[in-house]
Amino acid sequence: MKMRHISAFKQFLTVTYFELYRHLVRKRVYIMTIILALVIVLPTTVKILLNVPNPEDPKEFIPGELGFIDILIILGATFFAGDSIVSEYEKRTGYVLFPNPVKREIIYFGKIVASLIITTIFILVYYVSAFIKTIYYYNTLPYEAWVSLGYALLYTLAVIGFAYLISSIFKGTLSATLVTFFMLFMIFPIFSNILSLSAIEPWFILTYTADIITLVFNPPAERVVKMEVSGFTFYIFYPDFTTSVLVMLAYAIVTILISLLWFKFKELKE
């Protein structure tokens, strides 16, 4: 029984290793690296060239340095998770992979862990850059910075779970990748704004919860702000931290379980 567990673990490590290798040799990792470099270097360069002073409080400085974190997470999920499942069916690589004595659960978790690792690396580099700048300018690092990192990693898990769900449902890599990107980058945010205009807090929308990543540094005094402009009433909602964490966890658990079951029982001929 013990040897069986060791064998399964070795299979998991092997799948994870080859998935990581597959990500690293693809052009997407270079595109992601260029984007990461730009979002780190450009804002600082512009501030220096325009002689923009830094705020006195580091809690006001760090959110600006992490302004692209939600975009990086979405791009990471799109590049490294959006086609992870569907590619095995579309390219028929499953004919080689599935007949091997490796359970589909092991293949699935090897894939998703690899997606999490490669995406997390980019996130950590972004955070380390923000931390270094903060310590350089202020000689301190607020503890909220670590809380923000925790929220970002949890959001990453939820977003990648959602990407795997899309990847398991669609039949083409291009369609799965595009749907993942547009759902997270456009559809969810648009739907969230529509609900806000209708005085309904979009607490259940995944991308809405991402605001807590930077909101943790300066929580608002009121979560709901009512505004009236030219006879129209608008509402600005700020997500609740506890609710957002629970929503992220729910998205992660539900999407991973559904996509796992779909991947386990889906026939290759489909």
For residues 128 and 126, give the distance between their C-alpha atoms in angstroms, rounded to a whole number.
6
End-to-end CA distance of the chain: 35
CB of 163 within 8 A of CB of 82? yes
The kind and range of the H/E element at 237 are strand 232-237
CB of 97 within 8 A of CB of 107? yes
Question: Measuring CA to CA, which residue among 131, 132, 125, 42 is closest to residue 76?
Answer: 125
Q: What is the pLDDT of residue 267?
A: 57
> What confidence tens digit (pLDDT) does each residue in 73-91 have?
999 999 998 887 777 666 5
Query: Whole-model pTM?
Result: 0.91
Q: Is 168 helix (H, G, I), strand (E, B) or coil?
A: helix
For residues 238 and 223, give the distance between their C-alpha atoms in angstroms, rounded to a whole number.
5
Which two tokens mark 155?
């959001």
Q: How many domains does the chain have?
A: 1
Domain that residue 175 falls in: 2-265
Residue 270 lies in a domain: no
Residue 11 lies in a domain: yes
CB of 98 within 8 A of CB of 266? no
For residues 122 and 67, give the distance between their C-alpha atoms in angstroms, rounded to a whole number.
15
Which two tokens mark 109?
């978790």
Q: What is the pLDDT of residue 186?
A: 94
CB of 23 within 8 A of CB of 114? yes
Question: Measuring CA to CA, which residue among 82, 86, 64, 159 is closest to residue 120?
Answer: 159
Residue 109 lies in a domain: yes
CB of 32 within 8 A of CB of 127? no
> What confidence tens digit (pLDDT) does each residue in 190-236 have?
999 999 888 899 999 999 999 999 999 999 988 888 887 777 777 88
Which two tokens mark 118?
């490669």
